């Protein structure tokens, strides 16, 4: 079966992420398109990303939670997303939360929203980040428990995307496990593969730029053309 290419087919969407900016990188285009279609889109963020210091002189650690909260508010506004929930867990501490507790919190939210589609990380968290992995476990189990009719999608990459990305950056800079690379999926095996047109990509880039503390250092490193190339496509597989 060919992958879904139109976000209209995803119905009511709930995205579950670990830190501010996860949602925009992986689903910014999908969220914006769904909102424009009149679909309901709910974004859930586990932590405020207070450990994500990229430049202490520009974005001090003691202010980062507040900074990233404001950045995510602006980002979601740029995408048109009006429903957002914080779990207010400590950055770097999601893996310390019992899975049963994480699942229970999300199950209550899913039961209320009744999503058609739940989107989150894959089991490896793409980078091996324990917060990402915990959120993936919780969202997947909670979806099966409280929204049994929902399609659960896990973020993935393609071999071509990985090749482009790691041609520009050392894997050790972004991966949490030595020698690990993000899971990759052949395009023919994707469940969802959305390619953004120029207008949609521009909106996604505006949203990403709202998360200044995280995006500016990357744009400085990659340059605008490569950042646009890396954010043009959004890829997902069905949760195993």
* Those residues with Cβ within 8 angstroms of residue 88's Cβ, 6 or more apart along the chain or in another chain: 47, 48
Predicted local distance difference test score (pLDDT) of residue 170: 85
In tens, the pLDDT along 67-115 reads 999 999 999 999 999 999 999 999 999 999 999 999 999 999 999 999 9
C-alpha–C-alpha distance, residues 237 and 147, integer Å: 18
20-29, 54-63, 100-109, 197-206: least confident range:
54-63
In tens, the pLDDT along 197-211 reads 999 999 999 999 999
Tell me how far apart the 2 most distant CA atoms of the chain are, in Å: 50
Name the average pLDDT for the chain: 95
Read off the pLDDT band of 143 (50, 70, 90): very high
Predicted local distance difference test score (pLDDT) of residue 3: 98
Quote the pTM value.
0.96
C-alpha–C-alpha distance, residues 117 and 64, integer Å: 31
C-alpha–C-alpha distance, residues 240 and 120, integer Å: 13
Token code pair at residue 205:
């880039």
**Domains parsed from the chain with CATH numbers:** 7-238 (3.40.50.10320)
């Amino acid at each position: 079966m060919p992958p879904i290419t139109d976000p209209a087919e995803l119905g009511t969407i709930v995205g579950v992420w670990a830190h501010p900016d996860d949602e925009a990188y992986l689903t910014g285009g999908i969220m914006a398109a769904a909102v424009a279609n009149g679909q309901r889109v709910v974004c859930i963020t586990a932590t405020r990303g207070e450990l994500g210091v990229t430049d202490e002189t520009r974005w001090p650690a003691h202010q980062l939670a507040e900074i990233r909260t404001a950045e995510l508010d602006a980002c979601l506004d740029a995408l048109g997303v009006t429903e957002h929930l914080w779990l207010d867990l400590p950055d770097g501490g999601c893996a310390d939360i019992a899975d049963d507790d994480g699942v229970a919190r999300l199950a209550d939210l899913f039961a209320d929203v009744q999503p058609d589609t739940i989107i989150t990380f894959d089991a490896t968290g793409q980078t091996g980040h324990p917060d990402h992995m915990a959120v993936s476990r919780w969202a997947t189990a909670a979806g099966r428990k409280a929204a049994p009719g929902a399609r659960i999608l896990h973020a993935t990459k393609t071999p071509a995307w990985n090749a482009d990305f790691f041609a520009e950056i050392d894997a050790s800079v972004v991966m949490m496990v030595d020698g690990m690379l993000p899971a990759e999926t052949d395009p023919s095996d994707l469940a969802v593969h959305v390619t953004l047109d120029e207008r949609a990509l521009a909106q996604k880039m505006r949203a990403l730029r709202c998360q200044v503390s995280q995006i500016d250092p990357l744009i400085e490193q990659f340059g605008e053309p490569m950042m646009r190339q890396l954010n043009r496509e959004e890829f997902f597989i069905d949760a195993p």
